[in-house]
Amino acid sequence: MTLEERHFGTLDDGREVTEFLLGSQDGPQLRLLDLGAAVHGFRLRGDDPETETVVGFSTLARQQEATSAYFGAVVGRYANRIAKASFELDGVRHHITANEGSTALHGGTEGFSSQVWLVADRGDDFITFRLVSPDGDQGFPGELRALATYRLVADGFRLELSATTDAPTICCLTSHTYLNLASRGTAEEHLLLVEADQFVPIDQDSIPLGSLADVADTPMDLRSPTRIAERVREEDEQIALAHGIDHSFEIRGTGMRRHARLECPATGRAMELHSDQPALQVYTGNFLDGSWIPASGQRLRQGDAVALEPQQHPDSPNQDWGRSAVLRPGETWHNTIEWRFS
């Protein structure tokens, strides 16, 4: 097992982007970018592109064309949506840069996904990226220091996210990795299971309506393996609002546990997602419209990839029913995610 690196390209502002490869040619191979500390690919056999399970791009130019979809990136300082791009903390209202109408999505216009992270540590089977977000970055208070450590494990890979701050702030980081276990074509024939009895209904701006709802008797009932195509075509207001599924689910239990299972019947491949987070955002690739061409060479159409994002519920800083997203000096925020393949 080795860690290799190669120059991936240069951004318009002159920043260099590097691709890192963990693994071997005859075994699993994880490819990462320091741009966004992003997962850029994961092959079950390193020399075989037909075993690719993560959607990535062959050039930096194509990666940048798809920036708005956050392919593979660590997103933050606050993953998901903040309504009206503002929140109140300790009696002070903070305004974040809006990048989805009046909403702040995944950290605002220049969130963590657009930053080139530094390499803080590395070994044969792991690499740690580091990012310092200064006080006032995108409107967030406090200097936040974030770490993202990727490590190969026996049946997949793990991401350990952590953050500390020098002043009260809000924090929620996650991975926006897109999966297609068939390597190309549609992912709507995949079977998806989510370990959740409740989900978060949304309004027309994808902001929570204000409480959890039972998944029973709704298209969000994914408690047993369910063909994605069946759910995203149901006549349902929530499906219509999101053009598919783009909802947060309340995961049963606490601690490190299974959040979801994704299976591709055509290839026999399956992936189990484990995390210690309270919720999982499920996004069924609703706005993939053929504009982008990934490394597979086939244009990405609606439903060609699925993103499963362990995190807090959206807009938690403004929702009195949600868990606190506040991080204070002396505390360390954590999110551990494992992708386990079979």
Give the model's confidence band at 120: pLDDT under 50 very low, under 70 low, under 90 confident, else very high: very high
For the beta carbon of residue 18, count every other beta carbon within 10 angstroms: 15
**For residues 245 and 287, what is the distance between their CA atoms, to the nearest angstrom?**
11
* HSE (side-chain half, CA atoms, 13 Å) at 192: 28
H/E element, 230: helix 228-232
The answer for residues whose C-beta is within 8 angstroms of residue 226's C-beta and 6 or more apart is 191, 192, 193
Residue 96 confidence (pLDDT): 97
Query: pLDDT at residue 311 above 80?
Result: yes
**At 289, which amino acid appears?**
D
* HSE (side-chain half, CA atoms, 13 Å) at 181: 21
pLDDT, one tens digit per residue, over 181-196 is 999 999 999 999 999 9
For the record, the structure tokens of 32 come out as 């990462």
Residue 154 confidence (pLDDT): 87
Question: What angle (nearest 5°) sits at the alpha carbon of residue 314, between those of residues 309 and 320?
Answer: 140
Query: pLDDT at residue 135 above 80?
Result: yes
Residue 290 confidence (pLDDT): 95
SS3 state at 177: coil
**For residues 259 and 342, what is the distance between their CA atoms, to the nearest angstrom?**
16
Q: Which residues are catalytic?
A: 176, 309
CATH number of 183-317: 2.70.98.10
Residue extents of the structural domains in the chain:
2-177+323-341, 183-317
Residue 76 confidence (pLDDT): 97
Residue 46 confidence (pLDDT): 86
* Equal fold, 2-177+323-341 vs 183-317: yes
Q: Which CATH class is domain 2-177+323-341?
A: mainly beta
pLDDT, one tens digit per residue, over 246-273 is 999 999 999 999 999 999 999 999 999 9
- Mean pLDDT score of the chain: 96
pLDDT, one tens digit per residue, over 24-59 is 888 899 999 999 999 999 999 988 999 999 999 999
Cα dihedral 110, 112, 113, 117 sign: positive
Query: pLDDT at residue 215 above 90?
Result: yes
Determine the average pLDDT of the residues in 283-311.
96
Query: pLDDT at residue 10 above 80?
Result: yes
